[in-house]
Amino acid sequence: MPTIDLSCDAAGLGLIIAFPSGVVYSNQTGGTSCLHPECEGIYIPLRNDTEEAASEEGRDRQLRSPEHELVEYFFRGKYEGSGATWGLDEEDAIFIESVLAKWDLGECFRIDRGRLVESHEAWVHVTVVGEHQAFSGFGPYPRSGILTWTNSD
């Protein structure tokens, strides 16, 4: 199957909805472990935007994304860049859901508690429970998915 490596050029938070698309998505995940898990589906960027900011050279565009809080948590927080490759725990799920809620993403999917042991930094199994303004037509729900973002290594 054709494969798209999100670690090459994707930035920000995204959702891979497991869907028979004929396309596999991969990302570099797991902190310094640099894992490359894969999932067939459809990739949807979520809540990524840019804002203008002053710099020494003038005005720059900077990424605004929930990704920043997630990278900070896994890189500087309790995992210190190790990538949580042995799995996530309830504390991690609660933190990730709090970030999603702040960015108005908490209603369309939930962290899949039954797959926390298979989840790690930048590759979190979720259950898509309904549609969102960024996507529609992938029912019936619930449907499996992967929440992914730029690896912190």
11-66 pLDDT tens trace: 888 999 999 999 999 999 988 888 999 999 999 998 767 676 666 766 676 767 88
Distance from C-alpha of 36 to C-alpha of 127, rounded to nearest angstrom = 21
DSSP 35: B
92 contacts: CB under 8 Å, gap ≥ 6 = 84, 116
Amino acid at 22: G
Continuous segment of H or E residues that includes residue 67: helix 67-76
Burial 16-48, CB ≥16 within 10 A → b, else e = bbbbeeebebbbbbbbebebebbbebbbbebbb
Q: What is the pLDDT of residue 80?
A: 81
Tell me if the pTM is above 0.85. Answer: yes
Continuous segment of H or E residues that includes residue 125: strand 123-128
What mean pLDDT value characterizes the chain?
88
Which value, to the nearest 10 degrees, does the dihedral of the CA atoms of residues 134, 142, 12, 100 take?
Answer: 90
